[in-house]
Amino acid sequence: MAEQEQFDAIVVGAGPAGVAAAITIARAGLSVVLFERGERPGQKNVMGGVMYGRMLADVVPEFWREAPIERVVTDERVWLAAADSAVSIGHKHVPPTVEPPNAFTVLRVPFDAWFASQAEAAGALLLPGTTVVDVLREDGRVIGVRTGRQDGDLRARVVVIADGANSFLVQRAGLSRPLQPDEMALVVKEIIALPAAVIEERFTLEPGRGATIEVYGAVTRGMAGYGFIYTNRESLSVGIGALISHFMETRVTPWDLLEGFKSHPMVAPLLRGGEAREYLAHAIPEGGVRAMPRLFDNGVLVAGDAAMMVNNLHREGSNLAMTAGRLAGETVVRAVRAGDFSTRTLSAYQELLEASFVLQDLRKYERLPELAARHPELLHVYPALLNEAAHEMLTVDGVSKREKQRRILRRLLAERPWWRLLRDAYEGWRAMR
């Protein structure tokens, strides 16, 4: 392509991070190309299904009037499961109005198509069906990208890499060491169709409101991970995932794991009569801040899953991606105004992220990924013991409550000697404080 076709910015990947960046850059009146390898944005994209309103409203104000939202989440539950039971905790909030929504469920194919159309409306040039295979370099800086098309080189002042989990471009640009199998999870899920009224009845929901359930414990068969059930308008997103390293060790197949989860006695009644519409799989970054690539270099910025921006404990990712994408976009605008695309100006991106919840939250849980990878049994031993304890206390059989307490303590110490309990508590506290 000819020299005069240079753009201010190229964004690779039309997911939450890339689209947020493209919208921000285009709205500032700059020229931006948005590459997407799917024929339409969304076709290649998978997530559990929960998004957050605040970070989307920062990019598309009043999005809830038009975005293809499934249900506004008002009921969030966590189950700590044993083989045939669960201890349940949760929070339900029933406000008179849900606008703007805090959390909501989506299906990524319609949602991402809508989100990318916002970038086009702002003036970004969307080029779908195009795989970006490499970055172009000159004198130690990134000056554009190489696509899989014939004569497919395109130059720009800045490239924003937002090509998702297991980013090829981050590796090509030399921004990261190779990732390890304990730094990425594999998640499989199914879309299970049910009538809206059945979903609202089963999950005790007002029309249009939604519930989320995360399930820890026996369902992941000794691996670090969790299962989830999210309500859509007329379907459920039901999935489960675990670290790739644990799949390698246990030799459990992902589809067996999913079927086992779906047939758990707590889960099965919620799905009964539902019809599986789609089976999906994707990798999810788990390594946290310690597995992050360098976030900027001369002529290049990285945002979203490509930069490992996932807070798994709080199942947040798309919101980190949208905020990072927006901040990358603002940094590009600043760089164009200053006429400088070196690290001197682009380092502002890192500073903006450090000052935001994105890097502050990821730093807070910096130790958690390693703890989960090394001690997946923590996610099984304690839910199992908790279920036994609850069962013991709730079984009315003439045994005194004090004796029941003694039994529970004996069980606990048989499973976990006191020094292990102390160490678990200390490591758990250190990983989450």
Partner 1 sequence: MKIEEKLYGLRWKHDKQSHITVTDDRLCRERCPSEWKRPCTTFCPANVYNWDGDKIAISFENCVECTSCILGCPYRNIDWQLPRGGFGIEWQHG
Residue type, 295: L
- Check if the beta carbon of residue 17 is closer than 8 Å to that of residue 321: yes
Which residues of this chain interact with partner 1, rule CB under 8 A? 37-39, 42-47, 107-112, 128-131, 133, 147-149, 165-166, 168, 178-181, 183-184, 186, 188, 190-191, 235, 244, 247-248, 251-255, 259, 276-283
- Pick between residue 282 and residue 380 the one whose CB is nearest to partner 1: 282
- Pick between residue 43 and residue 88 the one whose CB is nearest to partner 1: 43
- Check if the beta carbon of residue 51 is closer than 8 Å to that of residue 319: yes
CB of 190 to partner 1, least distance (A): 8
3-state class (DSSP) for residue 316: strand
- Pick between residue 193 and residue 198 the one whose CB is nearest to partner 1: 193
Cα distances (Å, whole numbers) of residue 325 to 104, 165, 282, 301, 350: 20, 15, 21, 9, 12
Cα distances (Å, whole numbers) of residue 10 to 90, 139, 147, 221: 43, 19, 12, 43
CB of 227 to partner 1, least distance (A): 15
Q: How far apart are CA 191 and CA 276, in angstroms?
A: 6
- Pick between residue 279 and residue 426 the one whose CB is nearest to partner 1: 279
3-state class (DSSP) for residue 347: helix
Cis status of the peptide bond prior to 100, with omega within 30 of 0:
yes
CB of 244 to partner 1, least distance (A): 5
CB of 25 to partner 1, least distance (A): 22
CB of 236 to partner 1, least distance (A): 11
- Pick between residue 88 and residue 166 the one whose CB is nearest to partner 1: 166
CB of 159 to partner 1, least distance (A): 17
3-state class (DSSP) for residue 15: coil
CB of 166 to partner 1, least distance (A): 4
- Pick between residue 15 and residue 383 the one whose CB is nearest to partner 1: 15
Distance of alpha carbon 110 from its chain centroid, rounded? Answer: 18
- Pick between residue 140 and residue 178 the one whose CB is nearest to partner 1: 178
Which run of H or E residues covers position 74?
strand 72-82
List, in order, residues 6 or more apart from 148 with CB less than 8 Å away: 130, 131, 132, 133
Q: How far apart are CA 292 and CA 347, in angstroms?
A: 16
- Pick between residue 329 and residue 376 the one whose CB is nearest to partner 1: 376
177: left (phi over 0), alpha (psi -120 to 50) or beta: beta
CB of 278 to partner 1, least distance (A): 5
Q: How far apart are CA 271 and CA 288, in angstroms?
A: 33
